[in-house]
Amino acid sequence: LDWLFPDPCQQAVIQFMLKTLAGSNQHRMILTAYAGSGFAVLLTAMVGLGTFIGDAKLHVTMFVYFHVVMLAFLLAGLRHVFSIPIELRANWIFRIAEAGSRREWLEAIDRLVLIVAVGVLLVPLPFEYKIVGPRAVAEIALFGTAAAVSYEVVFRSWEKLPFTCSQLPGKTPMWILVLRVYVFLSLLPLPCFILLSCLYSPVGFLIVLGPLIAIGRYLHASRREYRSEARLVYEESPEPAVQELSLLR
C-alpha cells in the first residue's frame, strides 16, 4: 500500500474498504453474484457470435465482448456494493476527519477501482496478443479510454464513502429494476459493435478515440471540482416531494 497509496489518508480508507470486503459475507456474495451474472451473459452471447460474425473477426469480437460485459457488471457491482453499509456506527471517525481528508479519500477510491480495471485488462492481454496480434493493443487503448469515461459517468454523482452511508430499502419498484436490466442487456451489443468497427478502420479509430479522451478529461475535471465543494453523505434520506432546482448563485 505504501507504493500504490503513498498518502496516509488514502491508505486508511483503502484498508477500511479491503477489511470490510474481507470480513463481510454479504458484500462478497453481492460481488460474486455480479461476477457470475457477467460470466453467464458472456458465455450465452459467445455461443451465438459465430452465427453473426465471420471467422475472420470472431476472436477479436470475443475479446471485445468480454471486456464490455465485464466492465458493465464490474461498475454496476461496485456501485451497488459500495452503497451497502457495514456498520453505521463506524462512520463517526470519517465524519470527524472529513474536512481535511475528503479529497484524498475520494481519490483513493478512484485509484482502487482503476487498479482493478487495469488488472481486468492486463491479465488476458498476453493471451489476446498471441491470438489477434497487434490489434490487441489498439483494442486495449480504445476500450481503456471508453472504460474511463464510463466510470466518470457512473460515479459522477457519487457523494459517499463506501460502506459508511445508510441505505433506504425499496426505493425503486421491482418492475422498474427488471426493465432496467432488460434494457441494459439489450444495449450491450451496441458498444461492442462500435468498438469492433473502429478496430478495423484506422479513421474510425481516431475519430472515436479523440472525442473519448476529451470527454473523459472534461468529466474528470468537473467531477474533481464538484466533489471539492460537496460534503459526503452518511445518512440517506428519501427524495423530497418537491424537487429543488439547486441553482448556484
DSSP string, 124-181: THHHHHHHHTTHHHHHHHHHHHHHHHHHHHHTTT--S-TT-S---TT-S-HHHHHHHH
The pLDDT mean for the chain works out to 83
pTM for this predicted structure: 0.83
How confident is the model at residue 247, as a pLDDT?
54
Backbone angles phi, psi at 207, to 5 degrees: -65, -35
- How large is the average pLDDT for residues 24-34? 91
- How large is the average pLDDT for residues 137-143? 88
DSSP codes joined into one string, 206-227: HHHHHHHHHHHHHHHHHHHHHH
Highest-confidence segment of 144-153, 155-164, 185-194 = 144-153
How far is the C-alpha of 62 from the C-alpha of 12, rounded, in Å?
39
Looking at the predicted structure, is the pLDDT value of residue 171 above 70?
no
CA end-to-end span of the chain, whole Å?
Answer: 41
- 3-state DSSP call for residue 238? coil
Tell me, what amino acid is at 95? R
Tell me, what amino acid is at 114? L
Listed residue (126, 128, 114) closest to 220, CA to CA: 114
Residue whose C-alpha cell is 475479446: 63
Residue whose C-alpha cell is 482502487: 112
What residues contact 237, with CB distance under 8 A and at least 6 apart? 168
C-alpha cell of residue 152: 466518470
What residues contact 135, with CB distance under 8 A and at least 6 apart? 60, 199
Looking at the predicted structure, is the pLDDT value of residue 81 above 50?
yes
- How large is the average pLDDT for residues 15-24? 90
